[in-house]
A = this chain, B = another copy of it.
Amino acid sequence: MATKSSGKMKKPKTNIKSRDTVTSKEIAARIKKSAEAMVKEIKAHKDPSFTTQQRGKSNVVWDEKKGYLGLGDKRITRNFLNVAHARKFMQTSLIMAKTQDYLLHNKTASIREIYYELKHTIEGTKENTFEGQDESDPTIVDLEHSVNTIREKLNLHANPKGTLYGNITLKDKMHNNDKFNASKLGRGGWSIMSRIEPEEIEIIESDAEYLLVVETEAMFERLIEEGFPKANKCLLIGVGGQAARGARRLIHRVHTELELPTYVFTDGDPYGWYIYSVIKQGSMALAAHSEFMSIPKAQYIGMTLDDVKTYKLENVTEQMKDGDIKRAKEMMAYPWFQNKAWQAQLQKALKEKIRIEQQALANRRLDFVATHYLPEKIRNKDFLP
């Protein structure tokens, strides 16, 4: 944990140069370049092609050095003059044209909206451009991987979820340059948008010493009611289950730009631990995007099954469900869980078949989590890796 003189406002690091600081103009240029290559092929009477990264488990690599999941080098190419590819090729071209249009006109859209916006019957045929969102979504993923970015930088997004609270000032450059402090919005906190890109949302400053990511919105509210963030100089982000992309981007940016230690607090069960691992090391489905979203230095603060005995919670454990048991077995085999502490935790789960929720700490007293549990864990550096 960083120890700083109290009250010091920290400004974000601004010298970060990475795929993250690319501008929307640059992304639009990449799409244009890819489209121009197609046009060139067509003019030369060649079969136009589109190349993207291969996804799926067979091309996911565990990058131990970087500490997150990534994609390997396998690529796939689609050709227009291939009956099996032609429809997909048409769809990719539509998505390319539309997202470039969004980028050039500062518009954003949800992945459901772009599906609806592009759906139509092709003139002179009975063929629809897209039959369902299950056709447009993979095309968007193709494009993200092809131009080496994330959908947020194509001005696309999924649904928002998650809440921010604490002494941090943000600025929304696309909305009158609103500046607001997330500790001054009552106890509700700021509703995290679906897209949190540096071109739009700027981190101004914060005096927080660490960031605490909380699985359940109810625990998030508990910690605010107890005045925990102020007393402990920390920021809270409530993710409400598996973290949405906007919340992951904000966690990533707060951790990176403000250089804040990041602790994750979930239920003590395989699902909660998996939520932690996605925040820390990324997921297989979004392996190519770990650089934008993962936090390899994140630490796990709880709940652990050892907490049950330590904090006398024997009376309030629950039985693990079949899904939890299956997940625990899968997780034991993941390379990023190959360390003594997590193997012991997973083995314990499989042996005792119990789980323990964050809110079960209320069995000691409502404020126990804020007055004892979290402060002790942080003081003793009692984390899982």
Contacts and interface: CB of A to CB of B under 8 A. Distances in A.
Interface string A165-177: 0000011101110
A3 interface: no
Contacts of A218: 110, 112-113, 159, 194
Given A110-B218, A159-B240, 20 more contacts: A109-B362, A109-B366, A114-B362, A116-B359, A117-B362, A120-B363, A159-B217, A159-B218, A160-B163, A160-B217, A171-B186, A172-B185, A174-B187, A178-B184, A180-B184, A185-B185, A185-B190, A186-B193, A188-B190, A190-B190
B187 A116 contact: no
Interface size class for chain A?
Answer: 35 or more
Contacts of A316: 116, 119
A222 interface: yes
Query: Which 10 residue pairs across A and B have the least CB separation, nearest first?
Result: A172-B186, A113-B362, A191-B191, A116-B362, A110-B218, A117-B362, A163-B191, A188-B191, A188-B193, A178-B186
A54 interface: no
Contacts of A107: 225, 366
Nearest to A101: B366
A117 B315 contact: no
Nearest to A367: B107
B174 A185 contact: no
A124 B88 CA distance: 69
A275 to B, nearest CB: 16
A255 to B, nearest CB: 19
Contacts of A193: 186-188, 221
A236 to B, nearest CB: 12
Nearest to A363: B116
A163 B172 CA distance: 17
A160 B222 CA distance: 12
A302 interface: no
A256 interface: no
A272 interface: no
A119 to B, nearest CB: 6
7 contacts: A107-B366, A112-B362, A160-B217, A163-B191, A172-B185, A178-B184, A188-B192
A94 interface: no
Given A119-B315, A160-B217, A315-B120, A359 B112 contact: yes
A221 B110 contact: yes
A161 B216 CA distance: 12
B190 A117 contact: no
Contacts of A121: 315
Contact of A365 (B117, B191, B222, B359): B117
A162 to B, nearest CB: 9
Residue of A185, A194, A225 with most chain B CB atoms under a 10 A cut-off:
A185
Interface in A19-77: none
A192 to B, nearest CB: 6
Interface string A344-385: 000000000000010111110110000000000000000000
Interface in A108-131: 108-110, 112-114, 116-117, 119-121, 128
